[in-house]
Amino acid sequence: MNADQREIGGIGAHMTIDRLTRSDAVRNRERILDTARVQIASHGPDVSMLEIAKAAGVAVGTLYRHYPAKTDLITEIIAEQIDALATTIEQVVAKVESGGAVAHLELRRLISHILDLAAGNPALKTAALALPVDTAFAQRAQRTFTALDRLVAIGREAGTLRPDLSGKDVALLTCTGPRDLGAADRERWLALVWPGLLATSDLASTQEGRSCSNC
């Protein structure tokens, strides 16, 4: 799974010689990350480090060896999440650019997906807000915005999306979307918001919502 030569210092680790990294250390680091992901998702970012450690089958000291402060742990987890989302969006863009899908429909699906993600992890945004503002998040978020912008631009040019819509708009909406509510409320929310993103709200309304005869 993980070979001998792996990163250890997080984002910008570089040292003259990559001395050995013990296998148990790598294993524990992964266990901690996996556990923390789940714990934070279900119990919020206020889970104690002790509980995370216990759930990971590791002592607190070990946890602190890998992440000198709780902030570091949470930062890494959020960074993961952002990267995953960016990748997803980029894949969607690629699919649309290759003609394999329609921009505005994919955008709707994407928003729905993001809402689901947020709902499965209601505490993430809270956690992110509690973090220092100038971390490595900016560039990661930028990647997300860029991809979103691309997708929106295609839809705009196709005439299906609102002429003045931007990727930032979509981010604005999804970031403020419901996080602590059930699937029904999320769907309703999208049904309410969606028309505002279209060039003409009577067209292209694919799913529920207002009365629409031809779709």
Partner DNA sequence: AGCTAAAGTGAACTTGCGTTCAGGTTCAGC
Partner DNA sequence: GCTGAACCTGAACGCAAGTTCACTTTAGCT
Minimal distance in Å, beta carbon 202 to a second copy? 8
* Contact (Cβ atoms closer than 8 angstroms) between residue 32 and residue 58: yes
- 135 contributes a contact to DNA by CB under 7 A: no
Minimal distance in Å, beta carbon 142 to a second copy? 18
Question: Computed from CA positions of residues 201, 202, 206, 208, in that sequence, does the dihedral angle turn out positive or negative?
Answer: positive
What residue has token string 């299906």? 160
What does the alpha-carbon distance between residue 159 and residue 180 come to, in Å, rounded to a whole number? 34
| Nearest partner of 94 among 150, 149, 169, judged by Cα | 150
Query: Footprint of a second copy on residues 80-139 (CB under 8 A)?
Result: 126, 129
- Binding-site size for DNA (CB under 7 A) equals 28
In terms of CB distance, is 44 or 178 closer to DNA? 44
What does the alpha-carbon distance between residue 114 and residue 112 come to, in Å, rounded to a whole number? 5
Select the binding partner of residue 176 from a second copy, DNA, none (C-beta < 5 to 8 A, by kind).
a second copy
- 180 contributes a contact to DNA by CB under 7 A: no
Chain residues binding a second copy by CB under 8 A are: 126, 129, 162-164, 169, 172-173, 175-181, 185, 188-189, 191-197, 200-202, 210-211
